Structure 1
Amino acid sequence: MAAKAVVLHAAMLAATFVGAPAVAQTNDPNLSQKQIDCLSRRTAAGADCEDGAKNGGGQSGAGNAVGGAVFLPSLIVDLFPNPPARPTPAPTQPAPPKSPTSSAAPAPPPSGPITPPTGLNLAAPPRAVSGEFVPDEVLVTVAGDAGAVQRIATTLGLQVRSQRQSRLLGTTLVRYGIPDGRPVGVVLAQLAADGRTQRREPNHIYSLQQAAGIVNYAFERIALDSKQASGENVRIAVIDTGIDDANPALKGVIAGQFDAMPNVPIKKRDHGTSVDGLIAGVGVLEGMAPGAKIYHARAFEGGKSSMDVILSALDWAAEQDVRIINMSFVGPKNDLLGTACRNARALGMVLVAAAGNNGPKAPYGYPAAFDGVIAVTATDAKDGLMPQANRGAYVFISAPGVEMVAPSGTGSDVVTGTSFAAAIVSGAIANLIHAAPDRSADEIEKALAATAKDLGPKGRDNDFGYGLLDIKAAAAAKE
């Protein structure tokens, strides 16, 4: 019954977030129809406007609210898929593998009617925005104080919805609202022409990686003795859904909690509870690293979150002085997330992420595909690859993640997905740190790559990465 419930829930979520495609729009009365078409049809590939007009152009990645949209008050508005402007051609060669190595209160909007700016010289063509994103928001890092933030808003006809100093980005992060329906790609281009802005990104939407879901076989498969397993006092951050902290498997495990979306009611606690339990659960459903201290950031509801919320959770995690950050979610490439991950790694944190459950032909999943992040795919009890797992040169290592028993918001459940394989790896790494606290993130990554059990084609491959995690061999690699 539990497995059927998981399948039903997944189907309901999928139905919820299906939306009709929408076309770009602009309210600027000074733009001709041809200019509007140009703004909508340029792509990141660098096609010029004339060619785009002759060939019919592509569909803009921006969109409007459509029927069936889901509303998460004060945070995520009108979530729906936004198709890329044009299909991205597959690279002629595979990408090189990675080397083993509380928001402030929103400022009030400008008084009086908001007039979209005119006569701006665009420094770059509108971004070909891909992946799901909040359709009326952008994220911007700004050099300057609150006054500069508001002046940018006034100049470009935007609203300051939140702003805060980000530790991992090292600057002020502002969430601007677009009140007049301009496409996100157009606003990003207009912001690029303003020298007061540093980085400009869509507020991308990310999804937890749980597939439809028999005693936990992970200990045996990764060569970890369950009687000797320990992550005692190792601090681990988990960014996920809310959790059932009354679940017996999490008794004494949660050292701290942070709610990055306090205005959104918690409805589901299953995914986060399962991830925490697989990492450091106690009792009957013992995790990989009993004794570890989990710092849990709630950043997802209904399986979804936004870039702004995730960055807030990452900043909180960095402030807890954790050694490991588990990110069992996937979304589009976003430069702000990449910068945060790079800086977290520079601070000595080991970053572990789900490779994704979107199938062999899916695009790369982020944050897993960022350099310095350990991308984990899922295998079953016989070391076979989970069929719906993402593939690619970014996949770093394999770990059990198919049909495992884990604690959940309703007691326990059978779970499947790269989310849970990532949790197994995070717990295993906690064992390495417990045994040798001075081991650096680079040393741990190299040890995992050098000692993994080769699966599939000889050597590293796009399906299994370096192979199946072998924690016993990795622990010995330092000796």
Structure 2
Amino acid sequence: ATEPQRAIVGDFVPDEVLVTVDGDAATVQQIAASFGLEVRSERQSRLLGTTLARFGIPDGRPVGVVLAQLAADGRTRRREPNHVYSLQQAAGIVNYAFDRIALDAKAASGENVRVAVIDTGIDDTNPALSGVIADQFDAMPNVPIEKRDHGTSIDGLIAGVGALKGMAPGAKIYHARAFEGGKSTMDVILSALDWAAEQDVRIINMSFVGPKNDLLGIACRNARSLGIVLVAAAGNNGPKAPYGYPAAFDGVIAVTATDAKDGLMPQANRGAYVFISAPGVEMVAPSGAGSDVVTGTSFAAAIVSGAIANLIHVAPDRSADEIEKALADTARDLGPKGRDNDFGYGLLDTKAAEAVKKE
């Protein structure tokens, strides 16, 4: 008889599982011993509200088989693959985004609004990031930082200063490095999210996409219940791609990318989860020590995070729910009438959203 096996969707680390455990380090060791696994890491997760263990499978058993075996053990609460996530980048001028999203470039400010970004490492010598980074955390300290462009561009689009001004100059960026070579894994991202939640941030920008994972869903739900606005890239995997996560979780603002003429980026993901559109095609952004032209829903997400920082700067007591509603109610409709799978509610209109009076 073949062993029962759980079906798994998406890319994942082939010899690891993530398990939330009722108990402490000793319990984690006992579970490892019971199932012939090795403990690769264990920690208390603030957003999961429990112990998160990462077990290695030393004997080549498929992940699906091990997940099915662990399901029978009452000490384990949730059992998930260690899914792999990817950054969403498709390959001294005022960014055209200001005009498209009705944000006055001269008046734009996110003064002292705390924004967390989970991304690659950054080039903090780039002049656009001068004084912008309030704190940094490395969620994968054992992996040397080689690629810094994506994170540098995201931080710059949100809060850059000088010639490459971002949407919300004055915002304080709390930067968690969780990607190398364009990839990360669930355990690393969860560690970055936990750190972000502890920095008292108002917004978390997640410019990456991967499969649905319950642990990520719980972390997002609990971050949202702390009042944090969650912004994520809808994905660049094309019109027929499956839903991209974390963007497709409830309470996460899924952002698709449009160009200077409000046309949809052709390689954008589509679906009922798409919430709003923002510029993300051929924008100039800080990169390395200088700048580059960037395209992708990653960058559109950063534009939305910056716009939301402006809304919070103007009205600090605005809640995550109120912000989400204001964006939906004021977006400039694109495509079919009303909310649609291509553009969501339509193009972000910062000026109109700022004008919405609190209920």
Residue 449 (structure 1) aligned to one of 319, 323, 328:
328
- Partner secondary structure for residue 55 of structure 2: strand
- Counterpart amino acid of 2:352? A
Distance (Å, rounded) in 2 between the aligned partners of 1:405 and 1:372: 29
Structure 1 equivalent of residue 193 of structure 2: 314
State the Cα deviation string for residues 389-435 of structure 1 (Å, max 9, x = none). 00000000000000000001241000000000000000000000000
Distance (Å, rounded) in 2 between the aligned partners of 1:426 and 1:389: 19
Residue 472 (structure 1) aligned to one of 345, 351, 356:
351
- Counterpart amino acid of 1:334? N
Structure 2 equivalent of residue 379 of structure 1: 258
The structural deviation recorded for 1:127 is 1.6
- Partner secondary structure for residue 109 of structure 2: coil
Residue 237 (structure 1) aligned to one of 99, 107, 116:
116
Q: CA contact under 8 A between 1:352 and 1:373: conserved in structure 2?
A: yes
* 2:24 paired with 1:148: no
Distance (Å, rounded) in 2 between the aligned partners of 1:410 and 1:421: 22
Residue 279 (structure 1) aligned to one of 149, 158, 161:
158
Residue 295 (structure 1) aligned to one of 162, 174, 194:
174
Structure showing greater radius of gyration is 1
Structural RMSD (CA): 0.8
Q: CA contact under 8 A between 1:360 and 1:390: conserved in structure 2?
A: yes
Structure 2 equivalent of residue 351 of structure 1: 230
Structure 1 equivalent of residue 72 of structure 2: 193
Q: CA contact under 8 A between 2:94 and 2:164: conserved in structure 1?
A: no
State the Cα deviation string for residues 209-250 of structure 1 (Å, max 9, x = none). 0002x7510000000001110000000000000000010000
* 2:188 paired with 1:333: no
Structure 2 equivalent of residue 398 of structure 1: 277
Distance (Å, rounded) in 2 between the aligned partners of 1:478 and 1:253: 30
State the Cα deviation string for residues 419-460 of structure 1 (Å, max 9, x = none). 000000000000000000000000000000000000000110
Q: CA contact under 8 A between 1:358 and 1:390: conserved in structure 2?
A: yes
Q: CA contact under 8 A between 2:159 and 2:168: conserved in structure 1?
A: yes
- Counterpart amino acid of 1:305? S
Structure 2 equivalent of residue 368 of structure 1: 247
Tell me the percent identity.
88
Distance (Å, rounded) in 2 between the aligned partners of 1:159 and 1:476: 55
Structure 1: segments with no counterpart, 5+ residues? 1-34, 40-124
Distance (Å, rounded) in 2 between the aligned partners of 1:246 and 1:147: 44
The structural deviation recorded for 1:151 is 0.7
Distance (Å, rounded) in 2 between the aligned partners of 1:242 and 1:248: 16
* 2:139 paired with 1:260: yes
Query: What is the total number of aligned residue pairs between the two structures?
Result: 357
Distance (Å, rounded) in 1 between the aligned partners of 2:245 and 2:118: 14
- Counterpart amino acid of 1:466? Y
Distance (Å, rounded) in 2 between the aligned partners of 1:330 and 1:126: 25
The structural deviation recorded for 1:126 is 2.0
* 2:287 paired with 1:408: yes
Q: Which moved more, 1:215-224 or 1:376-385?
A: 215-224
- Counterpart amino acid of 2:242? P
Q: Which has the higher strand share?
A: 2
Residue 248 (structure 1) aligned to one of 119, 127, 130:
127
- Counterpart amino acid of 1:275? I
- Counterpart amino acid of 1:233? N
The structure showing larger relative contact order (alpha-carbon pairs under 8 Å, at least 6 residues apart) is: 2
* 2:307 paired with 1:428: yes
Normalising by structure 2, what TM-score?
0.98
Structure 2: segments with no counterpart, 5+ residues? none
Q: CA contact under 8 A between 1:268 and 1:409: conserved in structure 2?
A: no
- Counterpart amino acid of 1:277? G
* 2:102 paired with 1:223: yes
Distance (Å, rounded) in 1 between the aligned partners of 2:329 and 2:159: 25
* 2:98 paired with 1:206: no
State the Cα deviation string for residues 279-334 of structure 1 (Å, max 9, x = none). 00000000000000000000000000000000000000000000000000000000
- Counterpart amino acid of 2:15? D
Distance (Å, rounded) in 2 between the aligned partners of 1:402 and 1:158: 46
Distance (Å, rounded) in 1 between the aligned partners of 2:111 and 2:143: 33
Distance (Å, rounded) in 1 between the aligned partners of 2:313 and 2:35: 51
- Superposition map of 1:66-145 within 5 A: 125-145=4-24
Structure 1 equivalent of residue 297 of structure 2: 418
Distance (Å, rounded) in 1 between the aligned partners of 2:282 and 2:171: 24
Distance (Å, rounded) in 2 between the aligned partners of 1:325 and 1:347: 12
- Counterpart amino acid of 1:242? G
Q: CA contact under 8 A between 1:270 and 1:410: conserved in structure 2?
A: no
Q: CA contact under 8 A between 1:361 and 1:390: conserved in structure 2?
A: yes
State the Cα deviation string for residues 184-206 of structure 1 (Å, max 9, x = none). 00000000000000000000000
Distance (Å, rounded) in 1 between the aligned partners of 2:357 and 2:69: 51
Q: CA contact under 8 A between 1:221 and 1:400: conserved in structure 2?
A: yes
Distance (Å, rounded) in 2 between the aligned partners of 1:146 and 1:303: 32
Structure 2 equivalent of residue 100 of structure 1: none
Residue 462 (structure 1) aligned to one of 331, 341, 353:
341
Distance (Å, rounded) in 1 between the aligned partners of 2:180 and 2:34: 34
The 4+ residue runs of structure 1 with deviation greater than 6 A are none
The structural deviation recorded for 1:360 is 0.1
Distance (Å, rounded) in 1 between the aligned partners of 2:100 and 2:235: 21
